[in-house]
Chain A
Amino acid sequence: MNEQATQGEKLSSSTGGGVPLTYVIALVPVASVLNVIGGTVAGALKLPIFLDMIGTAVVAMTIGPWWGALVGVITNLTMGFLTGPVSIPFAACNVVGALVWGYGTRWGFANDKLRFFGLSVASAVFVSLMAAPIVIFVFGGATGHASDVLTAGLLAAGNDMWAAVFSSNIIVSSADKILSSFLALAIIGALPTNLQVTGPIMKAENMGTAVLITAGTVVGVILTVVSMNL
């Protein structure tokens, strides 16, 4: 029977048991919705960050980088269907983030706190490197986000467009990706352990500590940007 063939399809899991393909097919759209809802939450709570890659991080770290990339593409494609095509180019950022989180986990960067922090910072840097050209070439340097005020300030301080957009993006992105990574850890903690296909992942950190780590990193990035402008 065909049904039996479908039930037999499983992804091998590093923690044993395997993951039914239907679970993955159900997780991907829910993770995409979590990305969209993360953006809604950030907007509703007036947070100057995006929170639109939490679902991508969850899937990339558990099932694999390319499944995470699929979540990213579906998220931005769906947002394209809902709010117009402006969000579609940023699918590339979601894909880059998924690859960093996924391969990072596969190479053992999600095993302990320090390496996980490094993985979060790496995802912020790579996503910003991807986002800056999109913001400049497609949107002329502005996307209507509050971080445009920062870009305007940096331009007024005498920076060129590339430096201003990348600097404002990395400040927001570092806060966003570190917080998203720790929120993703909390969600992964609530998922079945057999879902960890990519490799073992550390236990979720206390979110108070995560917020402190994020704040510290953002202050560090701001000081770096300011010192480079002096």
Chain B
Amino acid sequence: MARVPVGAYVPGDSFFHKAHPFVKFYWVGSFVIFCFFNKNPYVNYSLTLIGLVFVVLTKTFPSYVRAMVIFFPAAFAMIFLQSIVPPAVFDNPELLAEIGPFSLYTESIIYGMLFSSRILCICTWSILMLMTLHPGELSSALQKARVPYTVNFMITTTLQLIPILQREFGIILSAQKSRAMEAQGFKALLPSIIPVFAGAIDRVSQLSMSLETRAFGANKERTLLRYKEFTTKETVLSILSLAPIVLVFYGRANFNAFVPLEGFSLSPFAGSFIVIFCGTAFLSIIFGATFAIRLLGKK
């Protein structure tokens, strides 16, 4: 069976599954704006935790973890990289501790945490939306949003082809491995990539021919198999999605985007621990994953 791509639809019957695609888009868009204009990383982390509760409630946790594996190294790297450079955007930064050649400043660590919290929060909510959004509904929503039918066709075809070609690549790589060919590094690139590309080119001809024979574009209005009506409930939920945007702009105008009055503070131990932990975690994920795959791959 084809491996479902990360973040793809997980069947279910939860409130999120039943919600209208537009409503989900509006709420995620609203959270994206909120996270980018809010300056307090702890608020973003709290929103991430709330999102995590909904992930558990919608029974999409395994897929969520699989999707987030890509973003955890980024989140750790953001904190680590920002922490080891002097804070350029702050006046009079507070020196917290010194670790080897690096001087750690409270502002740098908080700045790194802000970036990582944005990514974690945005990804959590958007992945939650994607895992509860049926591809058919996505196509219908795009059509209702007056996206040209050719572009809509291209997007939905891309979404459908990704798992198919990923599976083909997996088969080709396994076949090359079974023939004792290199399965890692630049030497393995051509033997594994050329058959996938050859298959893809063949697919273009087939797809083009089937489009011609079915008179693609003859009827500009497509019929929809899956479509949710946009009722009063959806309208109310859509208007409510403006609340985080209003809140964050009100916060920026009156509460310095939720930054505490006396500023953020960290103890030298906490600051050093965060930086060492994030640096170690990031390097362990990058190098450890490679090592583990090599080790397990040999077995």
Q: Which residues of A contact B (CB under 8 A)?
A: 1-3, 5-7, 9, 20-23, 25-30, 32-34, 36-38, 40-41, 44-47, 70, 74-75, 77-78, 80-86, 139-144, 146, 148-149, 151-152, 155-156, 160-161, 183, 186-187, 190-191, 207, 211
B154 near A29: Cβ-Cβ < 8 Å: yes
Q: How far is the CA of A3 from the CA of B165 in the complex (A)?
A: 30
Count A-B contacts at CB 8 Å.
216
Contacts of B218 in A (CB 8 A): 1-3, 5-6
Q: How far is the CA of A191 from the CA of B283 in the complex (A)?
A: 42
B123 near A86: Cβ-Cβ < 8 Å: yes
Partner of A34 from B84, B200, B215 at Cβ < 8 Å: B200
Given the known inter-chain contacts A2-B218, A143-B74, please indicate yes or no for A82 contacting B166, CB distance below 8 A: no
Q: Which residues of B contact A (CB under 8 A)?
A: 5-8, 28, 32, 67, 70-75, 77-78, 80-82, 84-85, 88, 101-102, 111-112, 114-116, 119, 122-123, 126-127, 130, 138, 150-151, 153-155, 157-159, 161-162, 165-166, 169, 173, 183-186, 188-190, 192-194, 196-198, 200-201, 203-205, 207-208, 211-212, 215-219, 279, 282-283, 286, 290, 293
**B153: nearest residue on chain A (CB-CB)?**
A25
Given the known inter-chain contacts A6-B218, A142-B78, A160-B88, please indicate yes or no for A40 contacting B123, CB distance below 8 A: no
Contacts of A41 in B (CB 8 A): 169, 189, 192-193, 196
The 7 closest A-B pairs by CB, nearest first: A144-B74, A140-B115, A142-B77, A2-B218, A26-B207, A144-B73, A29-B157
Q: How far is the CA of A36 from the CA of B163 in the complex (A)?
A: 10
Given contacts A22-B208, A45-B186, 9 further A-B contacts (CB under 8 A): A23-B205, A25-B154, A46-B184, A47-B189, A70-B154, A74-B154, A85-B28, A139-B74, A142-B81
A33 near B165: Cβ-Cβ < 8 Å: yes
Contacts of B80 in A (CB 8 A): 142, 152
A6 near B154: Cβ-Cβ < 8 Å: no
Q: List 25 A-B contacts (CB under 8 A).
A: A6-B212, A9-B217, A22-B216, A25-B153, A27-B208, A38-B193, A41-B192, A47-B189, A77-B155, A83-B6, A83-B7, A83-B70, A84-B127, A84-B130, A85-B28, A85-B32, A86-B71, A139-B119, A140-B111, A142-B77, A142-B81, A144-B70, A144-B75, A161-B88, A187-B201
Contacts of B7 in A (CB 8 A): 81-84
A196 to chain B: closest CB distance in Å? 15
B219 near A33: Cβ-Cβ < 8 Å: no
Secondary structure dominating the interface of B: helix
B211 near A25: Cβ-Cβ < 8 Å: yes
Q: How far is the CA of A219 from the CA of B256 in the complex (A)?
A: 47
Partner of A151 from B81, B116, B208 at Cβ < 8 Å: B81
Contacts of A143 in B (CB 8 A): 74, 77
Q: How far is the CA of A81 from the CA of B8 in the complex (A)?
A: 8
A142 near B283: Cβ-Cβ < 8 Å: no
Partner of A84 from B78, B82, B84, B122 at Cβ < 8 Å: B122
Given the known inter-chain contacts A22-B208, A41-B196, A139-B115, please indicate yes or no for A82 contacting B6, CB distance below 8 A: yes
Contacts of A148 in B (CB 8 A): 73, 77, 81, 282, 286
A33 near B200: Cβ-Cβ < 8 Å: yes
Given the known inter-chain contacts A26-B204, A141-B82, A155-B84, please indicate yes or no for A37 contacting B159, CB distance below 8 A: no
B77 near A183: Cβ-Cβ < 8 Å: no
